[in-house]
Amino acid sequence: MSSMEFKEGMGWKACFDEERGLYTAELWGMGNDDLYEIDEAVYGMLGKDGVSDSDAASLISTGRHLYMHVNDRMGPPYTVVLDSDYRSLCPWASVSGGGELWSEELTDAAVELFASEEKNREQRAKKRAERGRERRS
């Protein structure tokens, strides 16, 4: 098992996986549970004096969104898997789940439509191409 370092606050937890050189984080609260891939600079800011938990959440959400579960009482719960590798990227996270799982097609459309998901476009395009090759074979 790789060596992992953690930072934690109210509503967030971040991890540095030293072996893989990978920074990831989880945000939760108010009916949401989200996973992100973040960079070293964001990880370095987390937990510093003057960086509130609200600031930490804002910093984390600038990363690449990997997973989202919403159960906010505004409608039925749903889950969006933006990167199907989220479990291997964040093996430490204990994300909630349940409700309707968005289809690959709906997730692809949302990633293309919303500027906030721009960091997932390249990864989703590669996965879409893989799915297309698998269907043809």
Tell me the pLDDT tens digit for each residue of 21-78. Answer: 999 999 998 889 999 999 999 999 999 999 999 999 999 999 999 999 999 888 899 9
What's the total number of domains in the chain?
1
Residues 6+ apart with CB under 8 A from 76: 99, 100
More confidently predicted of 130 and 81: 81
pLDDT at 6 over 70: yes
Q: What is the pTM of this model?
A: 0.88
pLDDT of residue 2: 64
Which residues form the domain of 129?
4-136
